[in-house]
Structure 1
Amino acid sequence: MQRDLGIGDDLVYVAGCDGLRGLSRADGEREWITSMSLRSGVAVGPDRVYANGRDLIAVDPGSGEVDWRAPTIGARLTRPAVGRGTVVHTDRVDGVVTAFDTDGAQVWQHHTGTETRSPTVADDTVYVATADDPGRTGELLALDRRDGNVRWRADTTGTVKRGTRPVVGDERVFLGCNGTDAGRMIAVDKRDGTERWTFTDGNTTVYEPALADDSVYAGSNDNRVYALGRDGRLRWEFETDRTVGSVVAGDDLVFASSGALFALVRE
């Protein structure tokens, strides 16, 4: 489920087919709009907001002016990621992972050779999931943030929905997957990609999880929200009347979107 929102200190950034909007967090009033067709969600860095249009664009969060743009290739249907002075973009169909510095200069490229989803940057690592055989097999890759070299790769036994990214905790990386028989969420060791556990849903897709304290929350197309411990044990589940594609964990509540917005007590 593609998330088209980004949150800054004072503004909420909303990507749409007619441009990127900066809305006041206080009252929702529009502060600015960058008029161009956007195809994906938003990444918020310390000094700029990044989004995919015909190019990867870097926008000044105060004025909405485009500071720089970098040409990209292939299908622009993934969300960029930013971390430690690096902006990472992936082309879904072509499988090209490209890293830029925050001034728009290309630093490296890595070719996965297959469909590739939205990246995540955490510390000195870029995590990306691939779909070798859509609905059946894929991989989770850990790339060195500085040069793009592969640190490790892990089989996912299922692929990843467009817009879903790896989520990184203190010790593990969590990934929601879809399959022909069941959806899965996997947890692998950050150091070497060793699988620690797998959770299976009642249909075919587990979406991007959210982390809070010692819990992992995720929605599924079996119309449920799941809460698991970091050890993979099911704590509770909540049933809705339709697919739950997006889950966000707050201080006390879990927010889940399934056509309606649900606020669930975390414990």
Structure 2
Amino acid sequence: MDRRQFLAASGTLAVAGCLRLSGEDAETTNESTTADAATSTTDTAIETEEATTTEATTEPSGPVTGLEADWTHDAGSNFDASVGSDAVVVKSQSWSSAADGATALAADAGDRRWTALEEDTVVTATPLPDGGAVLGTKGGDVAAVDADGAVRWRQGIDGAVVGRPAVADDAVIAGTGDDDDVRPSVVRLNADTGDVDWRVTDEDATADYDDAVGIAVVDDVAYVGYTNGVAAYALDGGAKQWGAHANLNLSRPDSLLVGDDLVYAHRSPGLAAYDRATGAEAWFFEPFDDFQTRLVPGDGVVYAGSGDASVYAIERDGSERWRTQIAGPVTQVAAAGDALFASVDGGDVAVLARADGAQRTSLERGRTDVLAAAATRVVTADGSTVTGHALVRDD
């Protein structure tokens, strides 16, 4: 199997902004998961941080029951973080944030590795396996940053970079927002030099679409989730293969997942699945209240949290595998090891078993939001502080 292929039948999915997800999103058990995905490319091209991490077979076998904080970082306000296998990249979350660039921290200890683009408001970040990152700015630039913080290249793409760039072999795919005079665009950049290979901006290809929020690349096709539609473009040349216009709820890069034969996307109030080859709608799942978290891929399922204080596991055929109610509306979910971590609005973090949704415990963390996770790491936010956690297992 080609490394860009995904076995959705066994839980292999690609998450927006990453090349591949073979098990879940930056979190998983005995599968690949992605936190921001790392995939090897050619010797000269950029390698992407696998938004999918693979659980090590040498890890303790006991179930994950909690988190142990081992470092903190003062990030100020209005921040977000992306977790890779080696680094955590902290950046702005709000478009009104001050220009302060992006900072990479060591995933295991929290030490500052580098700060880049300090004069820019960095709004998207894709960690790379070597500790670098591909960054997108409010001003409309995409930049590749090496592991030492040096900017390898920087390229303007004529529009704010609203979607986390996806890196595939020798290509970086980025998307822009819609403004008064410029339609959203999808751009392929050379991963080694930053040169523009192609740009899709014509009305036929982007008509009726707004911000290009989610991007995933699978089998030489770039799948783009707009705030009101999904489209597929050939990686070679950018020709539009299909488009589905819908009232989607794509407000974050991880609101789009690509599986072996389906594309999954938030569509208010639930989750829609589209045929990967044609764009035809396959099914729609409606929870009791809107889904409002990232989509997390798992072993043959997609996990999501909703405003009805529930976490759902949804099968590939659109049926419900399980639903677990917790203490309040779910603001975010992330997976690591064999557990799901669900942030409760204004409260604690619930720890659920991924297999059946059973709640193992509730961690008293105050106003804590689970930002992201990798196979053995979870990163949370509490006010102005980013905290890195190791997994606690019941051996």
Partner of 2:318: 232
Correspondence for 1:108: 198
Task: Provide the C-alpha distance between the structure 1 equivalents of 2:318 and 2:302, rounded to a whole number of angstroms.
Answer: 8
Q: Read off the aligned partner of 1:95 and give its amino acid letter.
A: P
Query: Does 2:92 match 1:12?
Result: no
Secondary structure at the residue paired with 1:154?
strand
Q: 2:240 aligns with which of 140, 147, 150?
A: 150
Letter in 2 for 1:41: T
Residues 194-247 of structure 1, C-alpha deviations (whole Å, 9 max, x = no match):
322111122344543111111210122333221112221112223345543433
Distance 1:70 1:127, change over 3 A: same
Deviation of residue 162 (structure 1)?
4.2
Which amino acid counterpart does residue 91 of structure 2 have in structure 1? A
Of 155, 167, 171, 1:86 maps to 171
In the TM superposition, structure 1's runs of 4+ consecutive aligned residues that sit over 6 Å from their partners are none
Instruction: Supply the AA of the counterpart residue of 2:257.
Output: V
1:30 aligns with 2:120: no
**Structure 2: which amino acid aligns with 1:91?**
T
- The answer to whether the 8 A contact 1:186-1:199 is kept is yes
Q: Say whether the 8 Å CA contact 1:85–1:101 is kept in structure 2.
A: yes
1:170 to 260, 263, 279: 260
Query: Among 206, 211, 216, which residue is 1:120 paired with?
Result: 216
Q: Distance in 2 between matches of 1:44 and 1:240?
A: 32
| Residue 284 of structure 2 corresponds to residue 214 of structure 1 | no
2:281 is equivalent to residue 195 of structure 1: yes
Counterpart of 1:52 (choices 129, 136, 140) is: 136
The aligned residue for residue 247 of structure 1 is 333
Residue 21 to residue 39, structure 1, CA distance change in 2 (3 Å): closer
Q: Counterpart of 1:68?
A: 153
Q: Is the 8 A contact 2:252 2:294 kept in 1?
A: no
Is 1:41 aligned to residue 127 of structure 2?
no
Structure 2 portions without partners, runs of 5+:
1-77, 356-395
Q: Which ranges of structure 1 fall in alignment gaps of 5 or more residues?
A: 132-137
Q: Which has the higher contact order (CA 8 A, sep 6+)?
A: 2
- Aligned equivalents of 1:164, 1:26: Cα separation in 2: 24
Give the aligned partner of residue 130 of structure 1. 226
Larger Rg: 2
Which whole-Å CA distance do the structure 2 matches of 1:45 and 1:26 have between them? 16
The one of 153, 176, 184 equivalent to 1:95 is 184
Tell me if the contact between 1:188 and 1:195 (Cα under 8 Å) persists in the aligned partners: yes
- Of 157-166 and 119-128, the range deviating more from structure 2: 157-166
Match of 1:134 in 2: none
Partners of 1:52 and 1:73 in 2: how far apart? 12
The CA RMSD measured in Å over matched residues stands at 2.4
Percent identity reads 30
* CA distance in structure 2 between the aligned counterparts of 1:122 and 1:196, rounded to whole angstroms: 19
Instruction: For residue 191 of structure 1, report the CA deviation from its aligned partner.
Output: 1.9
Give the whole-Å Cα distance in 2 for the aligned partners of 1:74 and 1:261.
Answer: 37
When structure 1 is superposed on structure 2, of 49-58 and 152-161 the one drifting more is 152-161
- Give the 3 Å change call, closer, same or farther, for CA 51–240 of structure 1 in structure 2: farther
